[in-house]
Structure 1
Amino acid sequence: MTLLGSVVGFSFFGLASRFGQLSIQKRNLMDNPGGHVLAMAVFGFAGYWAHQWDERAGVILAEKRAEITERRERRLARADI
């Protein structure tokens, strides 16, 4: 998932959650647009954080796979001797 897709997707989820919150309270959905912007910004930041976390997890997993492969090769080399 791209960075832009994550941020925009989470932002729209934040907007939807804000609309849900206002509809539960039976308030006008367009009463305070600043609240919508704030909710979108907070959820957009959460999307940015989730994207960075996913990228870092991929790097860590690749490093661990390489480490495991290296250990297996050393173990096989010792077993052949």
Structure 2
Amino acid sequence: MTLISTILGFSAFGFGARCFQLGLQHRPIFDAPAGHLYSVLAFGGLGYGAFYAEQKQSVMLAEKKKALLEIRQKEQLEWDSKKQAHAV
């Protein structure tokens, strides 16, 4: 997922949430555009943060997977050497 699509998606959700809020209050939806702007900016900022948090988590998971695979390989070598020692 790209940065732009994440920000735009979160911003669209913020705009929809603001429109829904005004609809629940029975207020005109496009009466005060500043509220929509603040909502879009706030949710766009959340999308920006979510994008970089997802990238950081992906890197951390890849490092953890690499470390676990190395440990698994070492344990497999130890297991194979013990099996060969007992077979002799």
TM-score bucket (shorter structure): over 0.9
The answer for the alignment partner of 1:43 in structure 2 is 43
Structure 1 residue 78: deviation in Å? 2.1
Question: Hey, what's the Cα distance between the residues in 1 that align with 2:64 and 2:8?
Answer: 31
Question: Hey, what's the Cα distance between the residues in 1 that align with 2:24 and 2:77?
Answer: 66
Residues 8-55 of structure 1, C-alpha deviations (whole Å, 9 max, x = no match): 000010000000000111111111101100000000011111111111
Q: Does 1:18 align with 2:23?
A: no
Structure 1 residues not aligned, in runs of 5+: none
The answer for the alignment partner of 1:79 in structure 2 is 79
Q: Does 1:66 align with 2:66?
A: yes
Question: Hey, what's the Cα distance between the residues in 1 that align with 2:4 and 2:58?
Answer: 18
Structure with greater Cα Rg? 2
Question: Hey, what's the Cα distance between the residues in 1 that align with 2:28 and 2:69?
Answer: 59
Question: Hey, what's the Cα distance between the residues in 1 that align with 2:78 and 2:23?
Answer: 67
RMSD: 0.9
Instruction: Report percent identity of matched pairs.
Output: 37
The ranges of structure 1 where at least 4 consecutive aligned residues each deviate by more than 4 angstroms after the TM superposition are none
Structure 1 residue 74: deviation in Å? 1.1
The answer for the alignment partner of 2:55 in structure 1 is 55
The answer for the alignment partner of 1:33 in structure 2 is 33
